[in-house]
Amino acid sequence: MAEYSELLVRASYFLVAVLFIVGLKRMSSPVTARGGILWAGVGMLIATLVTFAWPGMSNYPLIIVAIAIGGIIAWVSGKRVPMTGMPQMVALYNGMGGGSAGAIGAVVLLGGGHDTIHMTLAILGGLIGTVSFSGSLIAFTKLQGWADRQYIFPGQQLFNALVFIATVAAGAYLFVDLTPTNIAIFFGLAFAVGILMTLPIGGADMPVVISLYNALTGLAVAFEGFVLQNEAMIIAGTVVGAAGTLLTQLMARAMNRSLGNVLFSGFGATGGGAALEGEMKPIDAADAAVMMAYADKVIIVPGYGMAVAQAQHKVWELTRQLLDRGVKVKFAIHPVAGRMPGHMNVLLAEAGVPYDLIYDLDEINAEFKTADVSLVIGANDVVNPVAKTDPSSPIYGMPVLDAEESHNVIVIKRGQGRGFAGIDNALFLADNTRMLYGDGQVMAGELLQQVKQL
């Protein structure tokens, strides 16, 4: 009997692996993306159900209660969170996966009686999963705005390195003396590593960090899958580990920085770069509306400020007004605008902006020269020309949108503050730039009213 149920489970896992890979593949094209998540979802459902038939298991009531608790909490929070809060929810759920992998490692180690290979993989999976767990939780609190600053102290990198070495040593010591106390010390240290690693990283880098922890969780899942001889975990974990690593690299490259630089530089802490001289010139909504309404071509550059102000719906209404007047309107999206790559795309899609109006950096940068007006709404560092001109600036070399090349630039901004990188923005001081101070949604609404009256 046990033989047949094991066969059933393993055959189902094979099907699950196929469903996951096809699902992920379908998610990589806008046309099939919605079907993709369904495929993967069916796979997950099958995997969960057949696992109850895994031979030699007990504690079924506990399993069902635990699934209900975790599932319901995640379902409710996932349904309720506003679209702007998506990045931190991804961080949170990812942390839960890492924590789960870490906990599996702990149970396996407590059970004891493993050979060297299984011990090594259980320890590695436990370490990576736990780091991903505590690191993702810190990323979540930062994005949620509960701890929106960096914690930096002298000798931090040395301290972190020592804690990491101690963690590895504690993991290695488990081969010598596998006691519950030593296991607890090891996991405690791994938890600290995740926290210490993430604390000094600034909010602007969080997308890269979340993506990295996503890949790490995948890897941890794969390692624990080896230990449990669970093919579904090995395949799914490894695919995510590899895909997540590539995604992390793409994102780091979009900011023209290496991953090491993101993790260890404490970027944004000091500002740096030459201070800029000049004055920001204000404009009121009526004048800005005239400029846009009588333009041939307007390029809108959204940033995180648009997300915070929930301005995407007003922006789309404004866009439709302009389109009706015969103005060509395009959206320019920087690869790291917002808090996740593609964050802006998701928000604009939510508001109903068709994606053929949305262009990424490479497609649109040459067009700024021919645009009459660039409307920068809540973006800062991604349109800062300093990245091209000042080698001492921390963002030097990062590809930016050439908004300053358009005939006129209107910047909607709450105040005169700096961006996430903490540096002055030469675009705001340029002769052809006018500042429209105010909340993104309110100002977009006023522009809309003014354009309607023309």
Partner 1 sequence: MEGFVALYIFMLAAFTGYEIIGRVPTILHTPLMSGSNFIHGIVLVGAMVALGEADNLVEQIIGFVAVVLGAGNAVGGYVVTERMLEMFKSSKGKSQSKGEESA
Answer for which of 54, 151, 173, 396 binds partner 1 (CB under 8 A) is 54
- Which of 78, 145, 188, 278 is the binder for partner 1 (CB under 8 A)? 78
Distance of CA 90 to the CA centre of its chain: 7
Confirm whether 439 is a catalytic residue.
no
Q: By rule CB under 8 A, what string of x and - marks binding of each residue 281-320 to partner 1?
A: ----------------------------------------
Residues between 206 and 235 that touch partner 1 (CB under 8 A) = 210-211, 214, 217-218, 220-222, 224-226, 228-235
Contacts to partner 1 from residues 153-192, by CB under 8 A: 180
Binders of partner 1 in range 340-369 (CB under 8 A):
340-343, 345-346, 348-350, 352-356, 358, 360
Cα–Cα distance measured from residue 8 to residue 220, given in angstroms and rounded to the nearest whole number: 25
Say whether residue 141 binds partner 1 (CB under 8 A). no
Q: For residues 84 and 86, what is the distance between their CA atoms, to the nearest angstrom?
A: 6
Dihedral, CA of residue 160, residue 164, residue 166 and residue 167, to nearest 10? 140
Closest CA to 260 of 322, 195, 189, 208: 208
Nearer to partner 1, 217 or 380 (CB): 217
- Residue 90 class from Cβ within 10 Å (0-12 exposed, 13-18 middle, 19+ buried)? buried
Which window, 39-47, 386-394, 401-409, 413-421, contacts partner 1 (CB under 8 A)? Answer: 39-47
**Which of 115, 362, 381, 402 is the catalytic position?**
381
- Report the residue number, 206 or 285, with the smaller CB distance to partner 1: 206
The answer to whether residues 244 and 214 touch, using CB atoms and an 8 Å cutoff, is yes
Contacts for 90 with CB less than 8 Å, ≥ 6 apart: 210, 214, 340
- By CB under 8 A, the residues from 84 to 103 that bind partner 1 are 86-87, 89-90, 92-94, 96-97, 99-101, 103
What string marks each residue from 115 to 134 as x (binds partner 1 by CB under 8 A) or -? --x-----------------
Provide the minimum distance between the beta carbon of 92 and partner 1 in the complex, in angstroms, as a whole number: 7
Q: Which residues of 271-303 are buried (b: 16+ CB within 10 A; e: fewer)?
A: ebbeeeeeeeeebebeebbebbbebebbbbbbb
Catalytically annotated residues: 381
